Amino acid sequence: MINFQYLRTTTSKSALSLISKDKNAKFLAGGTNLIDLMKRGVATPEKLIDINHVPLKQIELVGDTIIIGALASNTAVAEHPLIKEKLPLLAMALNAGASAQLRNVATVGGNMMQRTRCGYFYDTEMPCNKRQPGSGCGAIGGFNRMHAIFGTSEKCIAVHPSDMCVALIALDAIVVLANPKGERKILFKDFHRLAGDTPQLDNNLKADEMIIRLEISVNQLAKNFHYLKVRDRASYAFALVSVAAALEISADHKITEVRLSMGGVAHKPWRLTASENFLKGKEASATNFEEAAKLAMKDAKGFGENDFKIRMAPNSIIEALTVATSKA
């Protein structure tokens, strides 16, 4: 146990001033990821700034926009009537994550910021470019069954483990960040990064920034949706692959709008833009779903133990689309 200082703050302003003063400080939200990382010696912050008392737990409809505070718990979001009615895909994805106990304390901001579950990243005796840049990637040539098939780099093939984020990228969420100078907005799809040459960076949040809320426009995707999570056990396991699908289907069974994304396949939540473009305006049919799934796999690359994902992923896309469009 390495000593650290624990600070608690009640405003985002003071939280930001604390974090900008100290590059070895970290925000503490639900703590379900950060505390684990500290126990394993992977994260060694000197200061923990507890932000749980900052009033950022709102879940509300303002005009045509749904606002979700960064400190709303995963359970609060998933169980909120507004979310269940207007963003059921998000509720479904959240409920597919972790366990009820974890969801009760895990927050929206923390979920976005959670780090990969790659075993080499967690074991300080192993090489890992994400934990220790330049030390090598243990997963390449090692146990990479859970790892990425899209957008990988020679430095890192880890996946972002979140379920929630797979729904959020499909829903075109906007992330609102605060920094000592003010606020900035960033598209959800631009929040997380690919590993590239800097696998130590998971996302584009700057050191002096804080996630404060999400904004999501109300949409017509609340009827034909599905979140499919394929995993090794029925609960409390990370995705082998997951698919978020939400569509708008016209009376003549044409796809007028479609959002498709995947989890468990890349360093970031993976939006299937080519498949979406293909499906738009087409009939919601098995053949079209198969074609869309095929398109999604264009640049897939396996690393041995995760080769199966190249088969499991398109199958899962087909299944998710089928289930989503069979809802009356």
Ligand X SMILES: Cc1cc2nc3c(=O)[nH]c(=O)nc-3n(C[C@H](O)[C@H](O)[C@H](O)COP(=O)(O)OP(=O)(O)OC[C@H]3O[C@@H](n4cnc5c(N)ncnc54)[C@H](O)[C@@H]3O)c2cc1C
Question: How distant, in Å, are the alpha carbons of 59, 110, 122 from that of 70?
Answer: 10, 8, 26
Mark 78-107 with x for binding to ligand X (rule: CB under 6 A) and - for no binding: -------------------xx---x--xxx
SS3 21: helix
38 binds, among ligand SF4, ligand X, other proteins, none (CB under 5 to 8 A by kind): none
How far, in Å, CA of 165 to CA of 181, rounded? 27
Of 296, 208, 203, residue with least CA distance to 245: 296
The site for ligand X, by CB under 6 A, has a size of 29
Helix (H) or strand (E) run with residue 227 in it: strand 224-230
C-beta closer to ligand SF4: residue 157 or 247: 157
Which single residue is written with the structure tokens 């505390």?
35
How far, in Å, CA of 210 to CA of 299, rounded? 34
Mark 137-176 with x for binding to ligand X (rule: CB under 6 A) and - for no binding: ------------------------xxxx------------
C-beta closer to other proteins: residue 32 or 52: 32
Residue 196 in contact with other proteins, rule: CB under 8 A: no
- Cα 20–Cα 24–Cα 30 angle in degrees, nearest 5: 90
Residue 266 in contact with ligand SF4, rule: CB under 6 A: no
**Helix, strand, coil shares of the chain as percentages rounded to 5?**
30, 25, 45
Residue 180 in contact with other proteins, rule: CB under 8 A: no
Span near ligand SF4 by CB under 6 A; candidates 40-48, 102-110, 154-162, 171-179: 154-162
Residue 130 in contact with ligand SF4, rule: CB under 6 A: yes
Note the residues at the interface with ligand SF4 (CB under 6 A): 116, 118, 120-121, 128-130, 137-139, 156-158, 199
